[in-house]
Each structure stands twice: as C-alpha cells, then as structure tokens.
Structure 1
Amino acid sequence: MNFLFFFMALLAVQLLAAQSRWIAGRVVQKGNSTAIPMATIACENGKLSVLSGPSGQFRIQLPDTTAQLIVSAVGYKNIAVPINSDSLIIELQPNLREMDEVVITGTMRAVQRSASPVPVEVYNQSFFRKNPTPSIFESLQLVNGVRPQLNCNVCNTGDIHINGLEGPYTMVLIDGMPIVSSLASVYGLQGIPNALVERIEIVKGPASSLYGSEAIGGLINVITRQPGKAPLISFEYSGSSWREHNFDLGMRLANRRKSQTLLGVNYFNFTHRYDKNLDNFTDVTLQNRVSLFGKTSFTRKFSRLAALAMRFIAEDRFGGEMQWTREFRATDSVYGEQISTTRGELIGNYQLPLIEKINFLFSANFHRQRSAYGKNLFNADQRIGFAEFTWEKKMGDEHQLLSGIVGRYTAYDDNTPATAGPNGSGNRPDNIFLPGIFLQDEITLNKRHLLLTGLRYDYDKRHGNIFTPRVAWKWSFSDMDYLRINAGSGFRVVNLFTEDHAALTGARKVEIKGNLKPEKSYNLNINYTRKLIFSKGYMNVEASGWYTYFSNRILPDYQTDPDKIIYANLDGFARSVGTSLNVEAAFKRLRFTAGFTLQDVSLATKNKSGETERYRQLLTEQWSGTWTLSYTVGNSGWSADYTGNIYGPMLLPLVSNLDPRSPVSPVWTIQNLQLTKKGKGMWEWFGGVKNLLNFTPLANNPFIIARAHDPFDKQVVRDSNGQVIPTTENPYALSFDPNYVYAPNQGRKFFIGFRYAINRKAGVE
C-alpha cells in the first residue's frame, strides 16, 4: 500500500513537471537592440509575471498550455509574443508619446520631461554603467557641463562643478528631498548602491524659488528605485589593478502587502599605497568606506504616498607621506591627512489623509568629522533638521498651483575661526533657523504655450528678508521640438563649512574679513530641444545658452598672503555665461551621446585705483566635451563602450611669482574602454581600462605638491611681514601647498567585475 501511494505521488509530480516549462530571453528596443530593464513579462492570463533584469534578461516558468506572453515597459508599446522557443528575443517599439521620462526636479511635481517648462537632464542606470565607478560622484564625469573637481593632492576631497560654478552652489537631493549640507556634494553622492538608483535628474541654473539656499547654481537629484520595482536581490563587485575593491548589495523585502522595503549595502576599499610620481606622497588617497541604505514604501488607500528612507555612512581616509602611521597623527614629524567621517540621514514623506493633496516632507542628518591635517586637528559637528508642507491644487484647466511652507534648522560647531567668538576668542557655534514660504503657478495658455511663475520668501536673522522670484515659458512648436526660456534668482546664506581642503590643512590660516552677506544670483537660460525619428533609429538634440550674474559672492583669497585664506564678499560682481550642445542617438546596434560646453566664468572687482578689473576664475575650464559610444555585437551578449571627456585650459593656483609649475593646465582628456558579456541567466561580466592615455597632472611639470620634502615648512625663511623669501635651499620662494590639482593623479588602470540580479515578483521564480 505504501509502495502504491509512493508510486502515485511520483507519477503526479512527473505529470505536473510535464505541464510546465521554463522560458528565458531578453527584452530589447526594436531597431538598435538596446536592453530594456524592468519590463514586465506576463503570461496571457496575467497570473504569473517577472521583471527583466539590467541587461533585459528574464526567466519565467509557465504552464505548457500558455501560448503567448504579454510584454510591457514604460515608454514602449505593449505586445503579445507567441511562445515558439524556450529562448526568446523580444523587441519593443518605442511609444513616442510615452518615451519621455517622468521628472520631478524642475517643478517639484511629477511630469513628463517634455511637458516640463524647466529643462531637466535625465540619466538612467544604463548610462552610468558605460563607465562603472565606485560612487555617483565619479560617474558624473560623463555628464556634459558637470565636472567632479578634486581640490587636494593629498586627501582628494572634491566637489561638483555645474557650468563652471563650484561645489557650494550645487544642491544635492535624494528622491526630491534636499540633503542640506555643504558637504552634500561629496557625501550626498557616495554610498548608494548603483543597482538601487533608478535615475539622476540634473537642473542647471538657480532653483532657490523652490529649494532655497544652496540651489544657487544647480541641482542634482538622485532618484532611488521604488521597492516594488527593484530587483529581489542584486549584487555587484568590481576590482582594479590599483587594488581597489567595490561591493554593492541590494535586496527587496515585502511585508504582507502593507509595505515593501529596499535595503542596500555599499563597501569600498582602497588601502594600498602608491607613489608613482616619486614625491614620497601617496598618489591616491586611501579609503575605507561603508554605507547602509534602507527605504520603505507603505501601501495606503487611494494610492496616497508614504515612504521612509535612512542612510548611514562611515569613512576613513588617509593621504600623506608614505611612511606615515597613526602615531604621527597631529604631529610635525611625518605629514599625513587622516579624516574620519560619520554621517546619518533620515528622509521621509507622508501624504495627509485629506481630499486635498497635501504632502509632508522631512529630513534630518548629522555629520561628524574628526580630522588631522598635518599637525592641526579639525573637529566639526553638524546637525540639520528640515520640514516642508506642500499643497498641489488644480484650478480649472489652466492653473496648476503648488505652494509650500518650509523650515530648516542648522546647528554647527567646529574648532576653526568660522565659529570663533568676537575678536577670535572663545567659541560661538552656529544655530540658525531659516523659515520660508513659496508659491508656484503653472499656467496653460493653450496647447502650445505653458507659463510658470513662482516666488519664494525666506528669512535669516543674520541677513533679513530674502526674495527669489522665477518665471519660465515653454513653447511647443510640435510634438518633436520645444523652446524653453527660464529666468530666476538664487541665494546662498553664509556657511563656510565646506570640505575646502586648503582651509583645513594647516598649510594656511583662515581669516574672515568683515560681516559676510548672503550671495545672490540672477539667471537667464534658453533651451531648445528637437527629436528626430528615423526608420532605423532616433536622435535627440538639445542646445542651451545661459547668463548668470552674482552679487556678494564669497571668495577665498589665496593670493594676498600665501599662508592665509581670506574670506570676504566680492567687491564687484561675478558672472557665468556660456552655451552647450547635447546629442543622443541610436541606430540599430550603435548608440552614442556627445556633449560640448563653451563657457566664461569671470570676476570683476575694483583695484586700488578704483578701476574695475576682470579676471577668470581659477580651476575653471573655458570649454569641455564628453562622449559615450556603445555597440552591441549581434545576439552574442557582447557589447563595447568607449567613453571619455576632454577639458580646455584652466588657470591654476601658484604659491609664488617664482613658482616653476605651469600657471595654466594643458588640454587634457580621460578616455575609457569597457567590454561587457551578458551570461546565462542573470549574470553579467564587465571589464576594461580607464584613463587609456595614462594622463596625470605631472605632465610638463617638475612637481605637483610644493615642497613635498618639507611639509611643515621647517626650512622656509620669511621676512618681517611673513612673506617667503627665496634662498639657496628654496630658490622659488615656496611654502608647502598641495592644492595644485585639476585632474586625478591616478594613471591608467584595468578593472574587472560582475553583476548578478534576481528579478521577479512575489511568488514567481
């Protein structure tokens, strides 16, 4: 009897197995075979479905009776695919009216990119995978008009330049929420696993009418994936010939359909010392960084929004003399710069249970930095709380209103003159509350013309009332070409807590001249976009021109005294004017992007005679270009990416009139090559070479770091005014200075890595 039961059970299992089979394949764009990630592949009755992976791959188990699959993706036409093989290549046709990405950054509302009166550039995950990097900060080097700038040869601190404007003028957001901190341009773009990033939106130009202080030059908004659309599990590893290691891990968790959670871990390790330019200093800063990221979205009635996200970053960095160890920290025996950073962030949004669409958004972060720059210690603590209520209201068919009230509290303390008491004595931490209100009206004049107006009011007890107006106009000539004209203003309240390495190294002392006033900017931007559709591909062309005028600009003066940085408001004005061109195209298996920017960033101030003098801003290129070129080799799974950027000459900071280093950088370029192989299942392998031409700033220079052999200036001779004078030992009248930097010191390197993802919906293998 037991044998009969066992036999019948075995037969039932065999019959069930015979009634189903596995179907695998890839989803690509028709005409150019570009992979389409996150496409939904469902059986015809809709009960079973999976999502395609990063390379468009999928695998699904279906009953034998299933005759076809239903395949859909945002921006593409849905199709029914007959199952005539166990391995399918599914081609989707773009839907021109739906292929525009949904963006939120320009107007703080979710709209299609083509419908936004504010030009927003969108870069998705596949774009950045053409040149994989350990952080978003580095990956932005492929974006036209955006440049990650290194500020120090020793600790490799940096910031993001947008249209030539420096890091403090760029606001970083995560999922539309400001990560309000002057260090955000560095730490706001590190530590989020790449697999959890859906896209990055960039707005070039002031946006203070919506986002307030720091949004004076541009915005970078990192949009993470919705937990329900993220891979079940994703893993990525990459390593390089410089012994760098980067790990990304992401996973999705569900809680009885009430909530879904996205978890991510990023770990970057580079701890091997290199001194290829033989100056006894590390060429690249050692880093040991771990970041944890979590995001939960809650299911509510009427699709109301509710989400909570958290991020924690801990990092230890070191750069300096090759023989440095921790016993030399904050001593004058062996020079080293060691920075320990701990940062935590909490971000949330909640739509109130009301008929009106009222959202409550909030964020909080703490930042703790414990650093030693040579013999000087820099200890800083910052805590920021941010809250905002927004109300969206549609008035008839013509008006779409958005209003809000906002408050930001900043508590900051450090051991520098930035928080010193009167006459430099004692300690006076900053505790600033910055409230504001804003109103925006998006007016549909007719089907071709859209007008946006906005006004924001902020109050700072140090600076008084601050008004920032904005106006934008969009003219749709057709469904394929648009003209946008934007005008507005921005502001930035005084905050010297930036990772300005030169201010912290101890190589220079900080001096604040007078009572600093808030910076203000006024901007005019013209943007034209044209889409061209061909039988075998498409091309998007976007051209922009801008003019930005700054008053009260806060500038560090490195020239008056080589041992000081003097902060003061500019007695004059600054301006940024330029044009840019972006082209994106795809033809069959070939896809490319190209961008070119021409700009002039200058300052005008009065000399001792009262005459106005104009000069170029340091470390700012007058022109630059970027490109990506990708080719897919048939259905073999192989693809190649050739990427790069090129920069025109920049003015560089010299220590003295006798400094033998070049005062102007050469034209320089970083070029990269990558090969990718899509393996069976969800595996993907990639590898290649970065900095093909092996360029470093040492080219055509006798040295990079001034007086690397005497970093504590023990042999430097000065006159009665403290000025360095030339001697036999120091013929160029130099003092130690590591700030002559405009390009990475890391030369050519090879890299290899792999990715793996499981993409499925609940209950489906």
Structure 2
Amino acid sequence: MSSTASPSSPSCAPRPRRRRSRGASRRAAPRSRSRPSASSAGGAAADADGRFRLRLPGPGTFTVSVSAVGYAPVQRRVTAGAGETIRLDVDLDAATYEAGAVVVTGTLEQMAVRDSPVKVEVVPARFLETTPSANVMDAVERVNGLYQQIDCGVCYTNNIRINGIDGPNTAVLIDGMPVMSSLATVYGLNGISPMLIKQVEVVKGPMSTLYGSEALGGVINIITKDPSTAPRLSTNVFSTTHAEMAAEFAAVPLRGRTSALVSGTLFHVADYHDNNGDGFSDRPFETRLALFGKATRQDTQGFERASLVAKAYVEDRAAGFEPFLDDVGGLRGSDRVYGESIYTRRAELIGTWTPRPDLTVRASGALHDQDSYYGDVPYAATQADGFGQVVWTPPTEGTALDGHNLLAGAALRAIRYDDGSAATGVYDDAGALVENRPDTRVVPGVFVQDDWRVNERLPLLGGLRADVQPGYGVIPSPRAAVKWRPAEATTARLNVGTGFRVVNLFTEDHAAYTGGRATLILEDLEPERSVSVTGSLQQILGATSPVTVDIDAF
C-alpha cells in the first residue's frame, strides 16, 4: 500500500478490498485561515478495511491522491472549512499497467513506478515472504540483472553484483541512507530480516549523482516497515535439510505520534558435509545475531518529522577441514590444520529529520570491526564511516519554474580505515610495524537535480554532483534520463550517467585470494570511473489478465 500526491496536497492511501476503497473522514484544523503553502504535503495509511483519518494543516483547497498497489490512482479536489469534517468515498479500478508501488530511490522524491524517469525494480514484501531465508540477500538476487557471487570458496563470503559489476561498487541504502563501506553488500544485506522490509528498490547503473562513491554499479535501497502500520507481533521459525536454523521476531511496542519497532534474528548452521570430496566443508559453520530498531515521530497533523534506525550485527563464521571445525577455538590461527575463522561486529545508526516539508536532514554512521584468520595469517580491520546530507526541494508551483521539480543538496562523508596490512602501515623486512597510517578522508559534495515534466508522457531528468576527494580534486558525476510513454501500456526509458568509486583495499579480498593469486600495487590508485547507458522498454499485453514484457539493455 502506498501513496503519492502533488507538491501542494496531502496524500492518503487506503487499501482497497477487492476493487473498492472505502472512504475516510478528515477534519481541517481551525488554527489558520490562510491557504496552505505549495510545499504542504503529507499522508495517512489506511487500515485493513480501507478507512483512514487525515488532519489537514488548515482550511483551504487540497488535491488528495488515493493509491494502492495494483490499482490506478485517483485524485480528488477537496475544499475544507475551519473545523469541518468531510467524508470521501473512492472507488479504485485495477490497473493494467505499472502503477503500483511508490519509489524514492531513482530521484530522492516519492513517485509511482510508472512516473519515474529512472527505471526502479521493486521487490515487494509479499515476494520476500515466499523465500525461506533469514536475510534479504537470498531474495534480492532473484531480480533480473542481480547475481549473488561467492568470493571465497572456503569461508563463503558473498556479495551482490549488478549487471556483472563487483559488489563493492553497489551502494546499499536503508530507508534512503547509505550503509557505507565496501562490505556493505555483504553485511548490510545479510543483517536484515525480510520480515522487516516493506519493499526493496533496485536501480541498475551509476547513481553517483545522488549517492556518491560506491554507487558506481547501482543502488539497492531497503525500505523498512512503518512502525505505525506494521503488525503488533510477527514471528518466523524455520529449518532446512542443510541443518540451517533460524528464529526471528518483530514487535511494535509503541504506536501513536511516537511509534517504535524492534526485531531480532538468530541464525545458526553447523552441519559438516563434503559432497565433492576435497576435504573442506561445502559451506561454513555460522552463527549470526542481528538486532534492529526503528522509531518515528509524527507531528500533530500526522506527518512524519523524524525517524531513527539502529542495527547491530554479530557473526561467527568458520570453514575448513573437519578437524578444524571440531575445535575452532583451539586451532584458530595455527598451522596444524587449515581453517578460516572470521569474527565480525558491525553497528549502524541512521537518523532523519524533516523540520519542514521542503527540507530534510539525514545522518548515518557505521562501525565495522573484523578479526579473522586465514590459516595462520591474521587479518584484523576496522572501518568507521560517518555521513551527513541536507536535501532541499524548493516549491516551484505558481512560479516561472512551474513544471520543474528541483532538488539540491550537500553531503559530507568521513572515513577512517585501519588494518594490519601494508595498505595502512609501513613494515620493515622482518614484518614488524614501523608506522601505522590509517586511511582517513573527509569528502564534501554538492548536487542538484531537475525533474522536468515536459508533458504527461515525456518527463526529462538531469543532475550533476561534484565531490572533493583528498588527493584527487573535484570529481564530477553528471546524469540524464528521459521517459517516453507513447501509449498507456507502453513505456520506454533511456538513462545516461557516470559513476565513480575511490579505491579502498578494505574487504577480505587480499586475504581470501592469497592462496590463488598475488596482489601487487605498482602505482598510486586513481578513482574508478564508469560511463553507463541503460535502456528499457516495457509493454503491457492484455487487459483482463495482463502480461508484462520487459526488455533491458545496458
């Protein structure tokens, strides 16, 4: 269930029962006689019967947009006087085109999938619920163009590739905020239970204009459930024939203007099997605990003004010969029996504050600590990331820029990475540390975007970002997109953009690959760059039982 609205209107999203959406009452607050500003926006979620209640910011005329997944949206003009209660009944017709989900990843603004100039793949919650898994990684890889790659055949370290581009080049977001570090595609996805997720949005191709470094290959945005509408209590317990066991819960202890959701996931597998007879376990032993919490705060009119998300992740992973797995604690780091042991501790904190409808302030932090042994070779690393962003969407309705949806912002990222290798230290011939040199960077950036609706069937999108990278100077990242809808059931999109990523040797690569290759750094590493052109054509066939045909090229 989702909602959209014009910039000057509140929005509501009743959930239809069959093809009919029941109406709702709304009362205008008598505290103001002036017409609401063009930037007024908000919404309300409906209950299971399609009923909702929305308090308008004042008397005046509003455009109310009612939408639900799988149904064509309906807009109504509502004029409310001071203290007046209005009842509105709306019938929604089933849609035979892509009109359902509301997405934010492509442009940083809410809009229906069919209206977005950037193609966004949406994985809904009902699809995730069909996958018996304790992490979203297993479900996301079902999206066309995404592939889960196993980077290490022993410890089973994995990542998600988009259109063949390595996982460290994919930006992982939680509720629109970046989860930084090169291992985010592993631990950022493995640590989230599918039962917490409202939907997953995937954009293929460079998105550095909006999200900066790590968005060279694409973006995976995990939209978590709203505590104000999530079930009071959800549980999930399952086991597989590979002796994988998982237990999950999610609860809403607080609901009202301040709502809160908490959850936990425990996953365990310790079943040794060697079907290929190479002496190594076919999959690692693993114990994982993930805790998640989300709190939101609404104003007196029901508009969300602030949210806070916290996530903690603890994992113990081991793989190797069977004797090693029988005594990991005693053999860890020794050369008697080969095995790999990885202890991971990760914490993330994300905050969003909307002091007024056209201004949003976001901040996030992530701390990753890893203590590993690959045989008798140690690898200990820590990475801390801090990220802040301010986004401004100036009102344009009734001005010379009417028809343009402008967005401007500034971002600041701070990074500190340290490990026990030559990447962050100077060592003598005997291997002793002479000087520790953690990689520390502060990266400011600014960006601007214009979503211009030339007409109903032809929106154009243009954007530009400039990041100041220490040692490299200013790195520009432009983008352009066009969507053409010649008919109601036909949609064509074309996107052109550049992406960049500052190379960081963090990840387990240099240790995981030690047995198969040598890594030599012969010169200074410049930022990775890419230029990408992606195109898509969608055709809806049939009316009563529509079939969607998608053709993508990149």
Query: Is the TM value for this pair above 0.5?
Result: yes
TM-score class, shorter: 0.7 to 0.9
The alpha-carbon deviation at position 98 of structure 1 amounts to 8.7
The alpha-carbon deviation at position 252 of structure 1 amounts to 1.1
The alpha-carbon deviation at position 93 of structure 1 amounts to 5.3
Q: 1:73 to 1:103 in 2, by over 3 A?
A: closer
2:467 aligns with: 458
Does structure 2 retain, via aligned residues, the 8 Å contact 1:342–1:368? yes
SS, match of residue 190 in structure 2: coil
Does structure 1 retain, via aligned residues, the 8 Å contact 2:96–2:540? no
Determine whether 1:413 maps to 2:418.
yes
Gaps of 5+ in 2: 1-14, 27-45, 50-65, 74-90
Does structure 1 retain, via aligned residues, the 8 Å contact 2:152–2:513? no
Does structure 1 retain, via aligned residues, the 8 Å contact 2:123–2:140? no
1:340 aligns with: 343
1:106 aligns with: 106
Q: 1:269 to 1:466 in 2, by over 3 A?
A: same
CA distance in 2, matches of 1:28, 1:273: 49
Structure 1 counterpart of 2:48, from 19, 30, 51: 51
The alpha-carbon deviation at position 189 of structure 1 amounts to 0.5
Q: Which amino acid aligns with 2:472?
A: H
Q: Which amino acid aligns with 2:349?
A: L
SS, match of residue 126 in structure 2: helix
CA distance in 2, matches of 1:491, 1:43: 48
The alpha-carbon deviation at position 131 of structure 1 amounts to 3.3
Q: Which amino acid aligns with 1:461?
A: P
2:374 aligns with: 373
Q: 1:534 to 1:518 in 2, by over 3 A?
A: same
2:204 aligns with: 204
Q: How does 1:741-760 map to 2 (within 5 A)?
A: none
Does structure 2 retain, via aligned residues, the 8 Å contact 1:349–1:362? yes
Q: Which amino acid aligns with 1:179?
A: V
1:235 aligns with: 235
SS, match of residue 209 in structure 2: helix
1:382 aligns with: 383
Q: Which amino acid aligns with 1:439?
A: V
The alpha-carbon deviation at position 116 of structure 1 amounts to 0.6
Deviation string, structure 1 residues 424-460 (Cα, Å, up to 9, x no partner): 9532101111110000011111222111110000011
CA distance in 2, matches of 1:112, 1:385: 31
Q: Give the TM-score normalised by structure 2.
A: 0.81
Q: 1:140 to 1:349 in 2, by over 3 A?
A: same
SS, match of residue 484 in structure 1: strand
1:545 aligns with: 553
The alpha-carbon deviation at position 42 of structure 1 amounts to 9.9
Q: 1:74 to 1:503 in 2, by over 3 A?
A: closer
Q: Which amino acid aligns with 1:308?
A: L
SS, match of residue 127 in structure 2: helix
Deviation string, structure 1 residues 533-564 (Cα, Å, up to 9, x no partner): 422x1122221211xxxxxxxxxxxxxxxxxx
Deviation string, structure 1 residues 2-50 (Cα, Å, up to 9, x no partner): xxxxxxxxxxxxxxxxxxxxxxxx99867xxxxxxxx9999999xxx95
Does structure 2 retain, via aligned residues, the 8 Å contact 1:158–1:499? no
Does structure 2 retain, via aligned residues, the 8 Å contact 1:236–1:249? yes
1:330 aligns with: 333
Q: How does 1:270-349 map to 2 (within 5 A)?
A: 270-302=269-301, 303-324=303-324, 325=327, 326-349=329-352
CA distance in 2, matches of 1:28, 1:176: 30
Deviation string, structure 1 residues 658-698 (Cα, Å, up to 9, x no partner): xxxxxxxxxxxxxxxxxxxxxxxxxxxxxxxxxxxxxxxxx
The alpha-carbon deviation at position 279 of structure 1 amounts to 2.3
SS, match of residue 132 in structure 1: coil
SS, match of residue 275 in structure 1: coil
Does structure 2 retain, via aligned residues, the 8 Å contact 1:137–1:190? yes
CA distance in 2, matches of 1:28, 1:504: 54
Does structure 1 retain, via aligned residues, the 8 Å contact 2:173–2:219? yes
2:78 aligns with: none
The alpha-carbon deviation at position 191 of structure 1 amounts to 2.4
SS, match of residue 486 in structure 1: strand
Q: Which amino acid aligns with 2:504?
A: N
Determine whether 1:361 maps to 2:368.
no
SS, match of residue 533 in structure 2: strand
Does structure 1 retain, via aligned residues, the 8 Å contact 2:461–2:481? yes
CA distance in 2, matches of 1:454, 1:532: 34
Q: 1:346 to 1:247 in 2, by over 3 A?
A: same
Q: Which amino acid aligns with 1:296?
A: A
SS, match of residue 141 in structure 2: helix
SS, match of residue 525 in structure 1: strand
Q: Which amino acid aligns with 2:166?
A: E
CA distance in 2, matches of 1:114, 1:423: 60
Deviation string, structure 1 residues 368-404 (Cα, Å, up to 9, x no partner): 1001110011100111110000001232422111110
CA distance in 1, matches of 2:516, 2:533: 39
Does structure 1 retain, via aligned residues, the 8 Å contact 2:161–2:167? yes
Does structure 1 retain, via aligned residues, the 8 Å contact 2:98–2:113? no
CA distance in 1, matches of 2:316, 2:541: 49
CA distance in 2, matches of 1:137, 1:74: 24
CA distance in 1, matches of 2:350, 2:369: 18
1:741 aligns with: none
Q: 1:93 to 1:174 in 2, by over 3 A?
A: same
Structure index of larger Rg:
1
CA distance in 1, matches of 2:209, 2:470: 19
Does structure 1 retain, via aligned residues, the 8 Å contact 2:70–2:100? yes
Question: Taking CA–CA contacts closer than 8 Å with sequence separation of 6 or more, which of the two structures ends up with the larger relative contact order?
Answer: 1
Q: How does 1:671-710 map to 2 (within 5 A)?
A: none
Determine whether 1:519 maps to 2:524.
no
The alpha-carbon deviation at position 331 of structure 1 amounts to 1.2
Does structure 2 retain, via aligned residues, the 8 Å contact 1:149–1:160? yes
The alpha-carbon deviation at position 231 of structure 1 amounts to 0.9
Number of equivalences: 479
- Percent identity between the two aligned chains: 38
Q: How does 1:163-182 map to 2 (within 5 A)?
A: 163-182=163-182
Q: Which amino acid aligns with 2:394?
A: K
1:403 aligns with: 408
Determine whether 1:529 maps to 2:530.
no
1:478 aligns with: 487
Q: Which amino acid aligns with 1:280?
A: G
Q: Which amino acid aligns with 1:51?
A: A
SS, match of residue 195 in structure 1: helix
Does structure 1 retain, via aligned residues, the 8 Å contact 2:16–2:68? no
SS, match of residue 423 in structure 2: helix
CA distance in 1, matches of 2:334, 2:359: 55
Gaps of 5+ in 1: 1-25, 31-38, 53-70, 79-90, 547-765
Does structure 2 retain, via aligned residues, the 8 Å contact 1:150–1:159? yes
Deviation string, structure 1 residues 615-644 (Cα, Å, up to 9, x no partner): xxxxxxxxxxxxxxxxxxxxxxxxxxxxxx
SS, match of residue 308 in structure 1: strand
The alpha-carbon deviation at position 422 of structure 1 amounts to 8.3
Deviation string, structure 1 residues 83-105 (Cα, Å, up to 9, x no partner): xxxxxxxx995245894210000
Does structure 1 retain, via aligned residues, the 8 Å contact 2:98–2:114? no
Deviation string, structure 1 residues 82-129 (Cα, Å, up to 9, x no partner): xxxxxxxxx995245894210000001111111111111101122233
1:190 aligns with: 190
CA distance in 2, matches of 1:362, 1:277: 47
Q: Which amino acid aligns with 2:553?
A: G
The alpha-carbon deviation at position 141 of structure 1 amounts to 2.9
Q: Which amino acid aligns with 1:381?
A: T
Deviation string, structure 1 residues 678-720 (Cα, Å, up to 9, x no partner): xxxxxxxxxxxxxxxxxxxxxxxxxxxxxxxxxxxxxxxxxxx
CA distance in 1, matches of 2:387, 2:427: 29
Does structure 2 retain, via aligned residues, the 8 Å contact 1:40–1:51? no
Does structure 1 retain, via aligned residues, the 8 Å contact 2:96–2:546? no
Q: How does 1:494-505 map to 2 (within 5 A)?
A: 494-500=503-509, 502-503=511-512
1:120 aligns with: 120
Q: 1:394 to 1:473 in 2, by over 3 A?
A: farther
CA distance in 1, matches of 2:507, 2:319: 19
SS, match of residue 506 in structure 2: coil
CA distance in 1, matches of 2:316, 2:492: 47
Cα root mean square deviation, aligned: 2.9
Deviates more, 1:145-154 or 1:129-138: 129-138
CA distance in 1, matches of 2:490, 2:526: 42
Q: 1:471 to 1:153 in 2, by over 3 A?
A: same
Does structure 1 retain, via aligned residues, the 8 Å contact 2:379–2:511? no
